[in-house]
Amino acid sequence: MKILATLGPASRDRETIAMLLRRGADAFRVNMSHGDHATHAETIANIRAVEKDLARPVAILCDLQGPKLRVGTFADGKVLLQHGAHFTFDRNPAPGDATRVRLPHPELFGLLQNGQRLLVDDGKLRLVVIRPEADSILCTVEVGGMISDRKGVNVPDAIIPVPALTEKDRRDLAFAMEQHADWIGLSFVQRPEDLAEARRLMGGRGALMAKIEKPAAITTLDEIIEMADGIMVARGDLGVELNPEEVPPLQKRIIEKTRACGKPVVVATQMLESMITSPSPTRAEVSDVANAVYDGADAVMLSAETAAGQWPVEAVTIMDRIAAQVEQDSTYRTRIRLAETPADATTADALSASCATIADTMPIEGIVIFTGSGSSLRRVARERPAAPMLVLTPSQKTARRMALLWGAHTVTTRDIGSFEEMIAKGKRFALRHGFGAAGSRLIMLAGVPFGVPGSTNLLHVVTLTGNELDTPN
């Protein structure tokens, strides 16, 4: 299990980043919703400096804000909406009051219908449309409360015709590409087409992670997974627009479908929320993290806990301890194998599945995977083998990107040119990185001819003597 930690004011200095990596973090999220490009550039530079110091590939995910809907402002900054009262969203730019406020999203006028819901401030307030018109939307307040300037609005009963990328997102995406971000998080994905523009602007650089946080995305989930490089179960907004009891089974379904496609899946939002202010989590939060590990997610994510919380290092430490405890459970292996991951009718898929079978049948200390693009690793990782994976790649880009995958320890090294070199280098690096000792067996997976992407066709089992010459790369 990998840990994706969000960096912010509480954690973006080099010393804290190094501590987070030593305590269990594997990748870092840069939240483009907050801060400016100069601050983000400094954060990314700090990550890369620590990465060099620790000689360990680290994945960076730049998370785009996306088209968040928000109300306008109020004359007094906030008002109290009474249960059962009428309230109007309109196009009038004047400050709002207890009867109305501007809704600066013209695409919603003419779209909403009677009976559809508007959820304000992460669902704390709920209104129902009773008279939609060209310039105003009259609602009844079902659940009242305080509403203040620029609070977010969710519309769970309609697909909103807004582009997946705002102008801010385009600027942030260009910045992330200049900074060589490994992953881009695309927020509020509603349909497969939402991924197209981001793909075009990325130009083959980096990997694209679709964030599932809109109910509309569930109807085309298979297509979204197919078009994305990875999936994030963003339970914050998803939990606002769905009934709370619907989220856990949906989380399991998304994890299972994404794993079956051999792509990384991250579970995010409110995992150790109480640790923003407390040095220890609640028991319910511990169970939540543990369930994501039992489900076979590739990574779990910390948000404000590490970005702005009082205990960022402790949050990572505890999350790592939870994952380690689950992975030692005698039922863990059975549970993560409950999801079906049928192999395609290819040599590469057959050999990747065989790695897991061999590791189940005989004592295997590690699976050494030689890969250029990371495709071999993705195939093996989706099987959740009983042995850890040592990934040797000549591509720094691949090593960093694959740092988010379940069970993968990535190392950048020169490519191999022969079978003999594969065996010698695989043994040498296994010893160097703690994958076994004298007498340990390893599986080696590669492709011939060497250096050709997508040619995985070689599986070999070797035994370490413990005396392999530890020559330079």
Tell me which residues are annotated as active site. Answer: 29, 70, 211, 269
Answer yes or no: are the C-beta atoms of 93 and 60 closer than 8 Å.
Answer: no
Residues 6 or more apart whose CB falls under 8 angstroms from that of 123 comprise 154, 239, 240, 241
Element (H, E) at 461: strand 456-463
Q: In what order do the strands lie in the sheet with 152-154?
A: 69-70, 152-154, 117-120, 125-132, 136-143, 86-90, 100-102
Tell me how far apart the alpha carbons of residues 146 and 155 are, in angstroms, rounded to a whole number. Answer: 19
Q: How many CB atoms are closer than 10 A to CB 344?
A: 12
Which pair of structure tokens corresponds to residue 406? 């379940």
CA distances from 279 to 3, 6, 13, 276 (A): 18, 17, 20, 8
Tell how strand 69-70 and strand 207-212 pair up.
Answer: unpaired
CA angle 374, 186, 157 (to 5 degrees): 130
Kindly report each contact of residues 451-456 with a partner whose C-beta sits within 8 Å and lies 24 or more positions away, as own/partner: 451/372, 451/415, 451/416, 451/417, 453/372, 453/373, 453/375, 454/348, 454/373, 454/375, 456/347, 456/348, 456/351, 456/352, 456/371, 456/375, 456/376, 456/379
Tell me how far apart the alpha carbons of residues 99 and 413 are, in angstroms, rounded to a whole number. Answer: 65
Biggest CA–CA distance in the chain, Å, is: 80
Element (H, E) at 358: helix 347-361
CA distances from 329 to 32, 325, 384 (A): 37, 7, 15
Enumerate the β-bridge partners of residue 3: 300
Secondary structure class of 426 (helix, strand, coil): helix
Answer yes or no: are the C-beta atoms of 11 and 307 closer than 8 Å.
Answer: yes
Q: Quick one: 438 exposed, middle or buried, by C-beta within 10 A (0-12, 13-18, 19+)?
A: exposed
Give the number of residues written for the chain: 473
Tell how strand 456-463 and strand 136-143 pair up.
Answer: unpaired
CA 405 to chain centre: 10
Answer yes or no: are the C-beta atoms of 207 and 185 closer than 8 Å.
Answer: no
The one-letter amino acid at 195 = L
The one-letter amino acid at 233 = V
